[in-house]
Amino acid sequence: MTEQTTARVLLYSDDRTTREQVRLTLGRRLAADLPELEVFEVATQPVVLQAMDAGGIDLVILDGEATPSGGIGLCHQLKNEITDCPPVLLLVARVADAWLGTWSQADAITSYPVDPIRLPAAAAELLRARLAEKATA
């Protein structure tokens, strides 16, 4: 099987500033051993669902504070409705909300403000696992 040339990341937040912070923090490539990122920014739940139905997403990053559809509930929906759902990284405003990440079945959780060390590290770990899984499938 050929090596994947890009990793497709779906980034959901109703807040343009949050999407920009996440995108800039991720950069073009998370690590030398990972492909370049292709980030798709979306602002509404229906567009998230359309993108997920279309397939080809390697990592989903959801804003737990998004309105009117929060990323926590959306994560729960994706994990329960999509077969072979890609890993989900959930952004939460308070560390105390981490238990909601467990309920939502998120694969990883990071908190606001966007942490330039934690966010890319968590995303890289999830992408490595996903790409390895796809390579052996």
Residues 6+ apart with CB under 8 A from 12: 42, 43, 45, 48, 60, 61, 62, 63, 66, 71, 74
Torsion from C-alpha of 52, 34, 41, 111, nearest 10 degrees: 100
Q: Which two tokens stand for residue 121?
A: 């590290």
Rounded Cα distance between 61 and 103, Å, is 16
Owner of token pair 């560390």: 95
Q: What pLDDT shows up at residue 31?
A: 95
Flag whether 1 is in a domain: no
- 0.85 surpassed by pTM: yes
Q: What pLDDT shows up at residue 101?
A: 79
Flag whether 64 is in a domain: yes
User: What is the residue range of 18's domain?
Assistant: 6-136
Q: What pLDDT shows up at residue 108?
A: 95
- Asked if pLDDT for residue 112 goes beyond 90, the answer is no
* Domain containing residue 130: CATH number: 3.40.50.2300
pLDDT average, residue stretch 112-123: 94
* Domains: count for the chain: 1
pLDDT average, residue stretch 102-109: 93
pLDDT average, residue stretch 79-99: 89
- Band (24; pLDDT cuts 50, 70, 90): very high
Flag whether 103 is in a domain: yes
Flag whether 105 is in a domain: yes
- Band (3; pLDDT cuts 50, 70, 90): low
Q: Give DSSP secondary structure letters for 75-137.
A: HHHHHHHSTTPPPEEEEES-GGGHHHHHHHT-SEEEESSPPTTHHHHHHHHHHHHHHHHHHH-
